A = this chain, B = another copy of it.
Amino acid sequence: MSASRFRFDLLATSGAARRGRITTAHGTVETPAFMPVGTRATVKAMTPDAVRAAGAEMILANTYHLMLRPGAEAIAALGGLHRFMDWPGPILTDSGGFQVMSLAKLRKITEAGVTFRSHLDGSEHELTPERAMDIQHQLDADVAMVLDECTAFPATEAEAARSMRLSMAWAMRSREAFRERPGYGLFGIVQGGIHPDLREESVRALCAIGFDGYAVGGLAVGEGQNRMLATLDSTVPHLPADRPRYLMGVGTPQDLIRSVARGLDMFDCVLPTRSGRTAKGFTQRGEVNLRNARHALDPRPLDAECRCPACVRFSRAYLHHLFRAEEMLAGMLLTAHNVTFYQDLMAGLRAAIEGGTFTETADRWEADLAHGDIEPL
């Protein structure tokens, strides 16, 4: 572990878009950055080598899943998450709040925290701000997230306000329980639904506590891209410029481009990995469904511009065959492609911000993405 402080350096801007660098105990992350999701201590269908080769510098893991299996204590006993899953780079863990909220009838929320039943075996568990900090410490996360209540959508303004204020109280307790170590950081999570006043109130509450970074939570939960971007427009200007900004659980390539344009720095989403297992490939010319029969005899790569193993070595016809035959290699190859595509998209945006050409680059990407898949043979 390096002794350097957890820090964020803002290196360049282009309009509202920011080019930065996060320094953690386990290395640096160039931003804007997309973190592949390794829910249960594995980015599904990829070896850590493949994740690295795709260009990812930081990954996300899930407190909720890991506390239930194999357990935070087990991972701590095995040397922490980096060693357990052979990912020596930075890891961000969510606090488990979002997953617990999704349990619906299986959970009960009080001021103290959340009690819930495991979806695996029905056993009862408790997640408080203090316990969430404990677990993330045991996992050895470079970036821990405060425990929050992810406000449902739709919610009345009164519900959103109550929920947000509970999250702010939990944020304070999380901050107090977080164990400071060099190179480790704690992020607050802005809530408040789609209500600008509540979002602003949430930002002010978090800034008064003080965090190493600020996440925007409670979005991409069904509100649609327009409301999501409007919420970013009314939230981001209140966030401090000298801290990283993380949009949780987002999103499509277009979502990422439009959020980077609004000054967001970090993202995570299961979309590239999940799509990789369900035959949906992301390309510069939009999405491709590899189960479609028109690929059966197509000798061309999925994306001729892509450097990933699936595109360099295999044809659309072969990927189509693997998906039709339900071979594991199908999901392995397409996941690696999708994660590479997302990483290269972010690298392209970073270069554009550095070059001061973000708007032109973003417009070109968006036009290409909207163009749709390449012509059939």
Contacts and interface: CB of A to CB of B under 8 A. Distances in A.
Interface of A: 40-42, 44-49, 69-70, 74, 77-79, 84-86, 277, 296-297, 299, 309, 313-315, 317-318, 320-322, 324-325, 327-329, 331-333
Contacts of A70: 296, 317, 320-321, 324
A313 B332 CA distance: 19
20 contacts: A42-B322, A42-B329, A44-B328, A46-B329, A47-B329, A47-B332, A47-B333, A48-B313, A70-B321, A70-B324, A74-B297, A77-B297, A78-B317, A79-B299, A84-B315, A85-B318, A86-B313, A328-B328, A328-B332, A332-B332
Name, among A45, A315, A321, A333, the residue most crowded by chain B CB atoms within 10 Å (CB to CB): A321
B297 A327 contact: no
A191 B277 CA distance: 43
Nearest to A41: B321
Contacts of A40: 321, 325, 327
A329 B70 CA distance: 16
Contact of A78 (B42, B315, B328): B315
B84 A317 contact: yes
A299 B78 CA distance: 6
A44 B78 contact: no
A69 B313 contact: no
Nearest to A317: B78
A328 B309 CA distance: 18
Name, among A46, A78, A333, the residue most crowded by chain B CB atoms within 10 Å (CB to CB): A78
Nearest to A44: B328
Given A85-B318, A86-B313, A328 B74 contact: no
A309 B333 CA distance: 18
A89 B325 CA distance: 23
Nearest to A333: B47
